[in-house]
């Protein structure tokens, strides 16, 4: 099985743009990269854990990123009172865990919906807007940079998982 062309999922960010457009373009690029790494696989392959003792899966990564999109952009930056998507007080890693019986189409739909909702929540805010974090104020600018970093790290994991599943590699 081969990975679909990356252009179906992502567009290269501009090399010159204002700050907000640059952040959004890189965030969208990384969102698309994760979808690209998951494309063309069966439900079983998406649920296939990496290497023991790790239980990391592509589906778990997708669910995790849906969760963090909601938490950082909507719950924290926009101040909305929303429940977690997959996690709970009893299962703080519910996004990564519990994939064996997970509904794959629902997880993809949730990921896409959370990305759109995150964009909507951030669209009217200034990059300088802040909210209270554990160690003091956090700006929306920081959230964008953090999310780009979070995707970049997990897309590295996704690349290794995908290579192990079917040998596909790519940037």
| Alpha-carbon 40 to chain mean position | 18
Cα distances (angstroms) measured from residue 73 to each of 36, 85, 95, 144: 23, 14, 17, 9
Q: What is the pLDDT of residues 54-92, one digit of tens each?
A: 899 999 999 999 999 999 999 999 999 999 999 999 999
- Which helix or strand (DSSP H or E) is residue 133 part of? strand 130-133
Q: What is the pLDDT of residues 90-119, one digit of tens each?
A: 999 999 999 999 999 999 999 999 999 999
* pTM, full prediction: 0.94
The ranges assigned to domains in the chain are 14-166
CATH topology of domain 14-166: 1.20.120
**Within 13 Å and on the Cβ side, how many CA atoms surround 102?**
30
Burial class for 65, CB neighbours closer than 10 Å (0-12, 13-18, 19+): buried
């Amino acid at each position: 099985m081969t990975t679909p062309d990356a252009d179906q999922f992502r567009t290269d960010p501009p090399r010159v743009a204002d700050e907000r457009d640059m952040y959004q373009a890189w965030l969208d690029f990384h969102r698309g990269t994760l979808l690209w790494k998951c494309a063309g696989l069966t439900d079983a392959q998406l649920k296939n854990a990496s290497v023991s003792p790790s239980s990391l899966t592509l589906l778990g990564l997708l669910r995790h990123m849906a969760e963090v999109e909601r938490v950082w952009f909507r719950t924290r930056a926009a101040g909305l009172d929303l429940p977690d998507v997959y996690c709970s007080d009893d299962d703080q890693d519910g996004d990564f865990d519990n994939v064996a019986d997970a509904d794959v189409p629902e997880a993809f739909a949730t990921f896409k919906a959370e990305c759109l909702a995150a964009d909507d929540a951030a669209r009217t805010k200034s990059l300088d807007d802040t909210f209270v974090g554990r160690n003091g104020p956090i700006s929306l600018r920081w959230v964008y940079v953090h999310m780009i970093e979070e995707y970049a790290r997990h897309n590295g994991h996704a690349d290794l998982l995908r290579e192990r599943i079917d040998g596909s590699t790519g940037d």
